[in-house]
Amino acid sequence: MIVYIVGGGPPEFIPDLKTDKANPDIFWIGVDRGNRYLLDKGITPAVAIGDFDSVTKEELEVYQSSLPNVLKYQTEKDETDMELALQVASQQNPSLIRIFGATGGRLDHMLANLFLLMKPIAAIKNASIEIIDRQNILEVKRPGQYLLEQLPDKQYISFIPFTQTVENLSLVGFKYPLKDRNIFIGSTLCISNELIQRHGTYSFSKGILLVVRSND
């Protein structure tokens, strides 16, 4: 199962998802204003979730009358709408979670969405989790060895510690290789690297790593 979560970030940051709408393996979740984006693209979310404080009363009535499953929460709650969406995503036993509409706009929302990724990565052992916008693909990775393929539209690759320490990080096939190096939160050592061949590998033994693929 693949889960696509579409949040309410600025639509100009969200890739065009129309090519994915016919994929029967995708479970779509709309978060608050993200449901408007999905419906505009002809995509019906399996679950619409949120407090819906960023949509009009008329829009909410449309969601409740036309969508298969609307989960409405009070505005005063401990969890953010995106956190609630990730809880629903985790119940689908996914192999991959892709989050859209989580960047741009309010910086506090973007940071909250980023740090939320620590929760499902602990709870969903076999799922890859990505935040995607038009310029970036961000993945959260557990210890292991991984293969990366060159992406023509995402030339730059950065490796950022998401825990206090990431141990024994090695990069093979990169412009700036690395061998069994410990890197610490706040380090800029592995920012803006590039693959020098079609494929490369990275590996590490302890910690959580953010892998960011970007273009200018």
- Nearest Cα neighbor of 192 from 169, 164, 215, 208 is 215
Calpha distance 64→25 (Å, rounded): 24
- Confirm whether 2-134 and 141-214 share one CATH topology: yes
Domain 2-134 homologous superfamily, CATH: Thiamin pyrophosphokinase, catalytic domain (3.40.50.10240)
Calpha distance 55→68 (Å, rounded): 18
Calpha distance 63→45 (Å, rounded): 10
Question: Residue 124 has what pLDDT?
Answer: 65
pLDDT by residue (tens digit) across 101-115? 999 878 888 888 888
- Boundaries of every domain in the chain: 2-134, 141-214
Single-letter amino acid code for the residue at 91: Q
Question: Residue 161 has what pLDDT?
Answer: 95
Q: Tell me the pLDDT of the chain (216 aa) as tens digits.
A: 899 999 999 999 999 998 898 899 999 999 999 999 999 999 999 999 999 988 999 999 999 999 999 999 998 888 889 999 998 998 998 999 999 999 987 888 888 888 877 765 555 667 788 999 999 999 988 899 999 999 989 999 999 999 999 999 999 999 999 999 999 999 999 999 999 999 999 999 999 999 999 998
Question: Residue 68 has what pLDDT?
Answer: 93
Give the three-state DSSP class for 23.
Answer: coil
Between CA 14 and CA 25, with CA 19 as vertex, the angle to 5 degrees is: 100
Q: Which CATH number is associated with domain 141-214? A: 3.40.50.10240
Calpha distance 135→133 (Å, rounded): 5
